[in-house]
Amino acid sequence: MHLDVFTAGNSPIHRLDPRLRLLLFLLLALHLAITTQLPILITGLTLSVGFCLLARLNLAQLGSRLAVIAIFVLLLWLVLPFSRNGVQLALTLSLRIFTLVLLAVALVATIPILQITAVLQNWRCPALLVALLFFAYKYLTILHDAYDQLRRAAKLRGYQPSMSLRSFRTLAMLIGMLLVRSLEHARSLQKALLCRGWTGRFPGYELQPLSMAHWLIGTSAVSGWVMTVILISRVSG
C-alpha cells in the first residue's frame, strides 16, 4: 500500500524480529515519555537518530513527517517561553517529541501492519481489535481509491473545496456516497466470512518462539539502556 513508506528495506533494523522491535520501542518510549532529565533525553535522541540511520529510511518521507511535528514544536516555542520555567519546559518537550517520533519511525513504522496484527494476536490482544486492525487496513486502500475516484469526478464537474455551504454539501454527499458504497462491500464480506465459519481469530498467525540470537540482542539492548541511564544519573549527580 502507498501509505506504509518505511516498511520496505533490508537494513539490520528491518531484519530484527517485529516482536523485539515493538518491545524495545515500548520500553524506551515509555521511559522517555515520562523522564524529565535532559541528559537522558539527549541520549535518547542520539539513540533514535542512530536507529533511523541504521534503518536507512527514505529521508524525504521522514522529513515531511518531521516537518508537521516541527510546526507544533514551533508553536510551543512561540508561546511557552513567556511563562515561568517555560524555556526549560519547551526544551524538554521538543527533545522528547522528536525523540519519540524518530523512535516510532525506526522501530514501529518499519513493521508491516499485517505483521503487527500477527504480533498483537500472539500477545493475546482482544480478538475483536486484532480482526478490526486487519480488515480496517484492507479497507484503507479500497476507501482511499474510492475517495480519489469520487474527488476526481467532482473536480471534473468544477468542484473546488472552499468555505461555502455548497462546498460543504458536496463534501457531505461525497462522504455519504463513500460510506454507502463501501458498506455494500462490507456486507458481502460479512456473509462470506460467516459462510466460512469465521470465529474471530486468524488461523496460521501463530508465530515461532523468538530465536536465541534475538533474545540475546533484546536483553543486551535493554541492559545497555539501563546501564546508560544509571551512568548518566551518577555523572549528572
Residue 187 · residue 113 · CB < 8 Å: no
Count of residues in contact with another protein, rule CB under 8 A: 80
Binding mask 54-93 for another protein (x = CB under 8 A): -----------x--xx--x--xx--xx-xxxxx--x---x
Q: Which of 38, 54, 127, 221 touches another protein by CB under 8 A? A: 127
Place of cell 458504497: 181
Q: Does 213 bind another protein (CB under 8 A)?
A: no
Q: Does 123 bind another protein (CB under 8 A)?
A: no
Q: How far is the CB of 69 from another protein (least distance, A)?
A: 7
Residue 218 · residue 23 · CB < 8 Å: yes
Q: Helix, strand, coil: what percent of the chain each, to 5? A: 75, 0, 25
Q: Which residues contact 54 (CB under 8 A, 6 or more apart)?
A: 11, 12, 13, 106
**Interatomic CA distance for residues 113 and 109, integer angstroms:** 9
Q: Does 139 bind another protein (CB under 8 A)?
A: yes
C-alpha cell at 192: 462470506
Q: How far is the CB of 63 from another protein (least distance, A)?
A: 12
Q: How far is the CB of 235 from another protein (least distance, A)?
A: 23
Residue type at 117? T
Q: Does 38 bind another protein (CB under 8 A)?
A: no
Cβ closer to another protein: 70 or 221?
70
Q: Does 152 bind another protein (CB under 8 A)?
A: no
C-alpha cell at 115: 505483521
Cβ closer to another protein: 17 or 25?
25
Q: Which residues contact 71 (CB under 8 A, 6 or more apart)?
A: none
C-alpha cell at 84: 515561568
**Interatomic CA distance for residues 122 and 152, integer angstroms:** 41
Q: Does 23 bind another protein (CB under 8 A)?
A: no
Q: Does 227 bind another protein (CB under 8 A)?
A: no
Q: Which residues in the 168-197 window bind another protein by CB under 8 A?
A: 168-169, 171-173, 175-180, 182-183, 185-187, 189-190, 193-194
